[in-house]
Amino acid sequence: MPETTQAGSAPRQPSPYDAQAALAHLLARLRASSGATRVSVWVHEATTELVVPFRQASSPSTPRPTHPALRTPAFVSDSPFLSAVITSRQAVVARADGRRRADRQLAEVGIRSAHGEPLILDGEVVGVLTVEPAAAAAPHLLRQAAPRLAAALAEAWTRRSDQRRLDQAAVLLGLIESAGQAQSMDALLGSACRRLAELGEVERACIFLVEDGRLVPRMAAYADGRRDPVTWEQFRNAPVALELAETVLRTGEPRTADRTSGLVDGWWVDSFQIASALAVPLGRAPELAGVLTLDSTQLRPFSEAVRRLAAAAGAHLGGVIEQARTSQARAASLATAEVVRQLLVDGSAATGVAEAAEVLARAVQRLAGTDRSAAYLLGADGRIGEVRHVDWPESHKEVVATRVVGTPAASVPLWRQASADPRPVFVEDAAAGDLLDPQLVRALDLSSYLSVPLLSGGRLLGLVVSGSVGAPRTWSPAVRDAVSQVTLEGSLVVENAELRAAEQLRLAQLATEAHHDPLTGLANRRRFTEAVEATVYAEPAGRCALLMIDLDRFKEINDSFGHSVGDDLLCLVGPRLQGVLDDGDLLARMGGDEFAVLLPDADDTRARAVAESIGAALRDAFVLDGMPLHVDASVGIALCPDHGRDRSLLLARADTAMYAAKRGRQGHEVWAPDGTPASRDRLETLEQLRGALDGEQLDNHYQPKLDLRTGTVVGLEALVRWNHPARGLLYPDVFLPLAEQAGLMRRLALRVLERALRDLQGWRAQGHDLSVAVNLSVSNLQDVALPEQVEMLLDAFAVPAGALVLEITEDVLMADAARSQQVMAGLRRLSVRLSVDDYGTGYSSLSYLRALPVDELKLDRSFVAHLTTDDRAAAIVRSTLQLSRDLGMSMVVEGVEDAASLAALRAWGCDIAQGYHISRPMPAERVLGWLDSRPVRALRVPGARPRV
């Protein structure tokens, strides 16, 4: 709006340095001299073709102009009266009752008549002088005043423009300085908008920022500083984009528009009465931070000064915003890093999903600045199960317990969204959202909330919901990004906690399995031995009794009805035995049909009473599948300290007493010091063998097998040896019967098999195409798990199944034909080769050779010893060789100890020979050296030609 000078006393002489005051003085003198009601000067901006009302002088009785056209800048083309003066460069008179466009314009603005005089300086029209009414424009006065007014107007406008540039520079400098002082981005943008609206002479300035790839309304301020909450909410939640701002963001160029242009229309005009707007980019292309707009409720053009101000402010403000964002991002990054660090620290102590979920809930609440959080965990039935609360009042916990727990997760929209898109969800107005039940939102007083998925290995295990009460919250992009980061870190915390819980469960299971018998659930030998040690070696020394229990006639039941019935019987015996014991007594299954009892603080009398109770408990028949079965027990008793204070000694003496009770059929027997040395040696050896199985005393020796047709070594047989620390190298006949009787053969055979396959892997890696043969016992062939164990070992050492030969004696085949065939069939499916060892010494029927999946016959050494001197022995060898050929089997002859026997076997066409004449058994480390001195079949390389 132009400044007005009212008439009064004579105008005071202005300072020669105040151009605007000088202009006002000239206008006042002209109005006084001419008797006009109002004289005005308009600036003509040639660069923008604008006319700007600048100064006027009016009589006291003349009201201030109210029409917008007299108060705001306008394009020259939009003002017919002023345009006629400027373009003609001559005086123009217009009257409201005339018919020209200039006349009609005066009628529209309420002026009856006016005289327009061009103000020309250096040949350029710098402005227009208007005199109201036109009759007051005396020519002689105007001829004198016009040149002086033109010079004064140009100087005043220049001074004003210079001052505005200084003010603009101050504003821009202030923007830069305020970036470091602003308490928040909103405070910075609010201050900038208010000052820019004031300097731009518009009602309002607005800032739209690019967030998540789209332009969003972020800040608006009025020039007069007023705040309108309703209008503010409308602006922040605008349902449609401002096309003017979108256009500037796309092009990177400033634009002006009015409500008829199509760039500012519809909702924005209706809501904010925008008539004209100027928009400039924030920052510099191509990385724009957003758009700045200046808008007016009046149709108006924007002067060059305002355009420059807006453009400069946009460029500087873009940099300030990026600087502020960088600072905020750095601060947010540090805050996020601290939250993540604490999350990882707390998460490292969490075990299980529930504990980890609570840790994540606290981290999210801290990061988002919410009031309370809860972790909702998914149950196995797909319903919401356990809930972990953080900072919740009891009344609201009750609401969750009654309304949420037990609800099918799929019925909750928030859960369905998390299942479809497992990313954080931010709901700034909970009441208006549709992801949670509105009644639940009201019951919990939720105003805003965010939801974070509880993930582990890509599985959705639950949700963490963190909310605020009271005023709704908003979350900046930086906070949203930080929450997303914490969500990812949280998934690792949850997954690790889940693994930690599984590991604890596994360790507990392993501890249970390590100390409990898998068949009966009773304590096993290890647990019993540890308990005996703890009792015997306790300080102060106490007393106890050990009872070794062996079931009588149990082998008959196994042989007659099968091992499954025997196993069922053992499971029934345990509870019977447990029923006669007191709390604190320990019952264990030692293996096979052998049990043991530890009676702490027991003497001879108590031990005998328990032994008698055990016998009585077993007298009643056990009913299995409707069939009654009877078993008795022989019980041996050893007392501490009466019979010693050594764990192994007490166990051995209780075992000795048990065998004495079995021989004498006495039911139970207390150890007496007249035990035979043989029995003591046997028990001592058995205990040492158990220790050898747990250590590294057992080793494999290998005896080569020679192909008599080619003269090459094709395989080796693994023979177990015991490197006894006191007795030296022990052969199998010393300890294998004890191992079979004590139920240790399964462990021992697997130990030999594992070592043999490991050694074979090394030899084959050196290029030797060898096989290895391992002997199986009765207990091995009754173990239905054997095929699976063999398969695992073959896979572990990458040995082909055809390179493994399992040797089985004839008496093994006779023990339990049905189960043996089942196990052998499983081995055969693996392509493992099966050999009948010691063939010809047992009583097996030839029908077994027809029915069983056997690949090889291994003739016993007894037929070879007299091969060259006994015609009948030679006939048996030749007939057995023919039998193997007819059955499609290979034949191995063992016990070859002289060259004559070897020559005879080669002449008869025997396949493979083995014996001392070829080589004695040797340790594994000597095998390669021995092989290198003899012809050995080479391992074929895929793609290579066979050697001829």
pLDDT above 60 (res 66): yes
The Cα 749–Cα 757 span in angstroms is 12
The Cα 752–Cα 699 span in angstroms is 8
The pLDDT of 493-509, averaged and rounded, is: 84
pLDDT above 70 (res 943): no
Residues 785 and 717 sit within 8 Å (Cβ to Cβ) = no
- Report pLDDT for 48: 81
pLDDT above 80 (res 740): no
Specify the CATH number of the domain 693-932.
Answer: 3.20.20.450
Closest by CA position to 106, among listed 87, 126, 132, 125 = 132
The Cα 593–Cα 522 span in angstroms is 13
pLDDT above 60 (res 302): yes
- Report pLDDT for 676: 44
| Chosen CATH of 3-164 out of 2.40.50.140, 1.10.1380.10, 3.90.1170.30, 3.30.450.40 | 3.30.450.40
Tokens of 45: 């901006």
The one-letter code for the residue type at 431 is: A
- Where is pLDDT greater, at 404 or 624? 404
DSSP characters for 692-706? HHHTT-EEEEEEEEE
**Backbone φ, ψ for residue 510 (5° rounding):** -65, -40
- Report pLDDT for 237: 82
- Where is pLDDT greater, at 8 or 167? 167
Give tens-digit pLDDT for 369-396: 899 999 999 888 889 989 999 998 998 8
pLDDT above 80 (res 774): yes
Confidence class of residue 606 from pLDDT cuts 50, 70 and 90? very high
Residues 27 and 41 sit within 8 Å (Cβ to Cβ) = yes
Give tens-digit pLDDT for 325-335: 777 777 777 88
Closest by CA position to 742, among listed 700, 786, 687 = 687
Total number of residues shown for the chain: 948
Cis before 133? omega within 30: yes
Give tens-digit pLDDT for 392-429: 899 889 999 988 999 998 999 999 999 999 999 999 88
Class of domain 349-476: alpha beta
Q: Dihedral through CA 47, CA 52, CA 55, CA 60, nearest 10?
A: 160
Q: Other C-beta atoms within 10 Å of 381: how many?
A: 9
By DSSP bridging, strand 771-776 and strand 372-378 are: unpaired
- Where is pLDDT greater, at 186 or 354? 354
Confidence class of residue 477 from pLDDT cuts 50, 70 and 90? confident
Give tens-digit pLDDT for 230-275: 888 888 888 888 999 999 999 999 999 988 888 887 888 888 888 8
Tokens of 708: 């008599």
**Would you put residue 488 in left (φ > 0), alpha (ψ -120 to 50) or beta?**
alpha
- Report pLDDT for 547: 95
The pLDDT of 195-199, averaged and rounded, is: 80
Class of domain 516-675: alpha beta
- Report pLDDT for 675: 44
- Report pLDDT for 463: 92
pLDDT above 70 (res 6): no
- Report pLDDT for 131: 92
- Report pLDDT for 682: 67
pLDDT above 60 (res 816): no
pLDDT above 60 (res 945): no
Residues 129 and 26 sit within 8 Å (Cβ to Cβ) = no
The pLDDT of 566-580, averaged and rounded, is: 91
- Report pLDDT for 582: 93
pLDDT above 80 (res 432): yes
Confidence class of residue 591 from pLDDT cuts 50, 70 and 90? confident
| Chosen CATH of 182-330 out of 3.40.225.10, 3.40.50.620, 3.40.640.10, 3.30.450.40 | 3.30.450.40
Give the domain ranges of the chain.
Answer: 3-164, 182-330, 349-476, 516-675, 693-932
pLDDT above 80 (res 181): no
Confidence class of residue 494 from pLDDT cuts 50, 70 and 90? confident
The Cα 206–Cα 934 span in angstroms is 96
- Name 361's Cβ contacts closer than 8 Å, sequence gap at least 6: 373, 374, 375, 388, 390, 464, 466
The pLDDT of 194-217, averaged and rounded, is: 84
Closest by CA position to 65, among listed 3, 8, 128, 149 = 3
Fold: same for 3-164 and 349-476: yes
DSSP characters for 417-481? HHHHS-S-EEES-TTT-SSS-HHHHHHTT-SEEEEEEEEETTEEEEEEEEEE-SS-----HHHHH
- Report pLDDT for 822: 84
pLDDT above 80 (res 90): yes
Tokens of 907: 């002449």
Confidence class of residue 9 from pLDDT cuts 50, 70 and 90? very low
pLDDT above 60 (res 548): yes
**Backbone φ, ψ for residue 549 (5° rounding):** -120, 125
Can you say how many angstroms the Cα of residue 892 is from the centroid of all Cα atoms in its chain?
58
Confidence class of residue 795 from pLDDT cuts 50, 70 and 90? very high
- Report pLDDT for 937: 56
Average pLDDT, the chain: 84
- Report pLDDT for 490: 84
The pLDDT of 719-736, averaged and rounded, is: 87
- Report pLDDT for 449: 92
The pLDDT of 108-117, averaged and rounded, is: 90
Confidence class of residue 942 from pLDDT cuts 50, 70 and 90? very low
3-state secondary structure of 269: helix
Tokens of 902: 């070897």
Tokens of 806: 């399992």
The Cα 574–Cα 857 span in angstroms is 43
DSSP characters for 644-658? -S-HHHHHHHHHHHH
- Report pLDDT for 2: 62
Confidence class of residue 715 from pLDDT cuts 50, 70 and 90? very high
The pLDDT of 489-501, averaged and rounded, is: 86
- Report pLDDT for 278: 92
| Helical ranges in 537-602 per DSSP H | 554-561, 563-578
